[in-house]
Each structure stands twice: as structure tokens, then as C-alpha cells.
Structure 1
Amino acid sequence: MTTAQRAFIGELIAECLAVFIIIVFGDSVAAMYSLYDPSPYKMAYWGVCIVWGLGVTIAIYVTGAVSGTHANPAVTLALACYRGFSWKKVLPYCVAQVIGGFLGAAIVYTLFSPVIAHYAAVNHLDWTHDGAAAGVFFTHPGDFITPLHAFVDEVILTAMLLIGIFAITCEYNTQAPQANAGALIIGLLVATIGASAGYLEAWAINPARDFGPRLFCYLAGWGETALPSPGNYWWIPIAGPLLGGVLGAGFYQGVMRPFMPANVRAQKSDTAQD
């Protein structure tokens, strides 16, 4: 095995681990929110958002030095489109991320399976027909939200996510947080999106975050309520974020980055040298 091959395997392991960490914390707090009565979070929804965001922050600190912690196919695709990430790595990264989501959901199920069973029994819910506790693991439209509207929401919210990530990680943005502080700000960005719009359809903004757990639930007994899900909803948290990520990142790269003073100075310097 060459050094490059070994490094690439490490990157895939890191991407898998990153999404695994996010799902273990995020789906666990979703279980705390959904399955208990009274829930410790029903009157403190911001706490749910903070846990999801801190899960992202921890994932970055654990894996960022190895893979850069994309932890999201929408981020991987956007980086390939605009920041020179290798197209050959896009699909393997996405597969690793989905596997991480699958394994993370398996751990959450291991932790909360007795509580899920009790919740289903008390509320007279069937897993395969009623989707008992499915919202712990994957997303679905909220009240008054149609699948088409959810698609538009996911495009917009993921665009906002990628605008923030590209701004935070832009080498020419002198207002961006320096060094490792960026991980915390990205986590807070995720939390902010959830706090401001999470009730629309549980703010997937990440195909691996939704599809990995959804695939686990399909195999674990939720059946058609997971895949293809009511109204064939399963594809929306995949396609919406992928499109939104490309649009948001493209907006930052095309509209904001060219006007960064440091970028303007660099371009003038290059022109003068020519």
C-alpha cells in the first residue's frame, strides 16, 4: 500500500467517524426530545439545536486534521465544484459519510431501544405502519409542510450553511475566526439554522445525516416508513441539500470572495509581478 493510498483510507475513516459522532449526539438528543414525557427539551428547544451544533464541532476537532471534516455530501460536492477538491474522492467520501450515519443510528438504537419500545407501546404505534419514533433517526415534513415545500426549504437552508462554511474557511476573509475557533462557529451555524427553521422538516441540510439513519431504520424494522417513506420523501433530504450547497457555495465564491480586500490586494500583486 502506497503512502497516498494509506492517507486516503485514513480520510475515509475520518469522514465516517465524523458523521458517526454527529448522529450519536444529534439523534440521541432527538430521542431525549421525542420519547420522554415530560421531555427535558420541550420547553428548551434551543438545547436540541446546541447539541446538534456541538456534535458538529466535536466531529471537526476529532477528524479535521485527517480529512478536513466535510461530514456532509453537500459540503464535499461544493468543495469539488469551487475549491479544487478531487472529483475522484467525491463518491468515496459520500459513501463513507453515509456509512457513518448508518453506524451512528445503530448506536442510538442500542442506547434507546427499550425507550423506543415503551414509547410505541404506550402510544399504540406500530413501527412499520405508524413510524413509531422514526423522527428520532431521520427527517420528515413538519406541520403544514408539503414535500415540494420541504425541498425548497432544504435548498435554502443548505445554501445558508455553505455560505457560512465558505466564509468561515476563506483564506481571504480577515473577519473569519482564526485557527481552531472555526469549528465552534460552524457548530453554532448549524445550531442557528436548527433554531430558526428546524420545525419545518427537522433541518436535514446533510444527505448523509438523513439517509444513513434512514437506511438503518429500514433494515431495523421501520420498513416503508423509512424507505421510500410516506410520499416518497426519502430523496428530498438528499437532492435539496446537494443543490442548495452548490448554490450557496457558488454565491459566496462568485459574489463575496472577489471583493475581499485581501483577495483584491493579492490580485493586484500578481498583476504587478506580471
Structure 2
Amino acid sequence: MTPFSAELLGTAILIVLGDGVVANVTLARTHGHGGGLIAITTGWATAVFVAVYAVAAVSGAHLNPAVTLALALRGKFAWAAVPSYMCAQLLGAFAGAVVVWLAYRRQFEATAEPATIRGVFCTAPAIRDPGHNLLTEAIATFVFVLGVLQIAAPTHGLGALDALPVALLVLAIGLSLGGPTGYAINPARDLGPRLAHAVLPIRGKGDGDWGYAWVPIVGPLVGAAAAALLHAAWLG
């Protein structure tokens, strides 16, 4: 397995389990319907653990353009490999979203609300205020990336044993900072599934809310860059 294919596979696993728990909790006529925030945040944290553990030894398990950017800014990852990693992450996120649709196709058909259908694939603000939503995503990603950089510092890469603390970090962010925007903290996690939502033949799915789509892309990248700069100033 190459680093490209590992990043693609890892990100696909992340989305299958992460978007999968959202589908189980929010779509109509599932056994997990109405499970609530705790189920979703726990599911996403577990998704991160499984995905990171699965491919860490091959690619370092970035699974997130924000992490790739931060590691490159810190000099811990080659800039020449950044485009291929980000491409793999986006393709993996798209593929993972398609798998979720296949698994929950009948539940998508049974769900009447377009916003609920779209919410399985991508994030949306609880209160729409682009400037504030951008700041929220930047803050959440800043906390996430700063934690990842510190967890990764001893080995200069995300080893398999680092999967658990990273998953706990994602759980904490979801519970503490996930309320305003749904804590994308990962441009590929939002954009890849949003693209899948656009092309999949889902009846009554509505639009993809593309006017908001830039927020969960720009916010995490800004937060990641700020975290990398602070980490460099802090540790040298």
C-alpha cells in the first residue's frame, strides 16, 4: 500500500464511520434514530481512532488537509507531497460518503427533510453568521491541530499508538466546540461528502448549501496554520 492509497483508505474509513453515525442518528426509520449528540460525537471519535490506527504505519494517517498543512508548516512533512495527500483525502471522503449512502439508501428515501439528508454528508451552522462560523471552525481546528502536533512531536509522525489520544481530542472538541457549526475541523471531511451529496441520486435531497461550503474549508486551514505557527514559537 502506498501513502496515497493509505490516505484514501483511511479517510474513506473515517467518513464511513463518521457520516454513518450521523445517518443512524438523524435519518428516519433507523434503529439509532434520535440517539443525540453523545452518540454522534462518540461515533466520530471512534471513527478517528479506527481510521488513524488502520493506516498510521503507512502514511502517518493525516486524513485531513488541515493536519497535512500544519505538518508541512512545521517542517515535519514534505511540501512536494502535500497536493497528493490532500487529493487522496478528498477522494477518500467522497468514496466514504457514497458507501454511507449505499448502506442507508432506504432510510434516505424515507427521510423527508432536505436539511436532514444534507446533514449526513456535511456540516451546517446552528446560527448562520459566516464570519462567526469561520472563527468557530478556526478555533476548533486550532485546538485540534495543536493537540495533534504535540501528540506527534516525540516521533515526528502520527504513530498507531497515537490513535487513542487523537480520538479523545476529537471527542472533547465535538462535545465542547461542536455546537455552533458541527465541528468540521477537516476540509476534506466536509467537501468530499458535499460533492457526493451533489451527484448521488437521492430523492428530495435539496441543494448542497454551497454558499456556506467555503467556511469549513477556509476555517480549518486558518486554524491549522495558526496552530503550526504557535507550536513553532512554543517549541522552536
TM-score by length of structure 1 reads 0.79
1:1-274 aligned at under 5 Å gives the runs: 10-36=2-28, 40=32, 42=34, 44-120=36-112, 125=113, 130-142=114-126, 144-171=127-154, 180-221=160-201, 225-226=207-208, 229=209, 232-255=211-234, 257-258=235-236
Query: SS of the counterpart of 2:77?
Result: coil
Deviation at 1:18, TM superposition (A): 1.0
Q: Name structure 1 gaps, 5 residues minimum.
A: 1-8, 259-274
Deviation at 1:42, TM superposition (A): 3.9
Instruction: Please list the CA deviations of residues 163-215 of structure 1 after superposition, one character each: whole Å capped at 9, or x if unmatched.
Output: 10011111299xxxx96432101011011111112221111000000000001
Asked if structure 2 preserves the Cα contact closer than 8 Å seen for 1:41 and 1:48, the reply is no
Higher Rg: 1
Tell me, in whole angstroms, the C-alpha distance in 2 between the residues paired with 1:132 and 1:117.
12
Deviation at 1:41, TM superposition (A): 6.6
RMSD: 2.3
Tell me, in whole angstroms, the C-alpha distance in 2 between the residues paired with 1:74 and 1:141.
20
Query: SS of the counterpart of 2:134?
Result: helix
Tell me, in whole angstroms, the C-alpha distance in 1 between the residues paired with 2:179 and 2:11.
22
Query: Which 10-residue stretch deviates more, 47-56 or 20-29?
Result: 47-56
Tell me, in whole angstroms, the C-alpha distance in 2 between the residues paired with 1:167 and 1:145.
33
What one-letter code is carried by the residue in structure 2 that aligns with 1:61?
A: Y
Deviation at 1:93, TM superposition (A): 0.6
Write 1 or 2 for the structure with the bigger share of helix: 1
Tell me, in whole angstroms, the C-alpha distance in 1 between the residues paired with 2:7 and 2:35.
34
Deviation at 1:84, TM superposition (A): 3.3
Tell me, in whole angstroms, the C-alpha distance in 1 between the residues paired with 2:33 and 2:168.
18
Asked if structure 2 preserves the Cα contact closer than 8 Å seen for 1:41 and 1:47, the reply is no
Deviation at 1:36, TM superposition (A): 3.8
How many residue pairs end up in the alignment? Answer: 233
Instruction: Please list the CA deviations of residues 24-80 of structure 1 after superposition, one character each: whole Å capped at 9, or x if unmatched.
Output: 001110011211479747465222111111111111111001000000000001111
- State percent identity of aligned pairs: 35
TM-score by length of structure 2 reads 0.91
* Structure with greater contact order relative to length (CA < 8 Å, sep ≥ 6): 2
Residues 146 and 37 (structure 1 numbering): CA distance in 2 closer, same or farther, change over 3 Å? Answer: farther
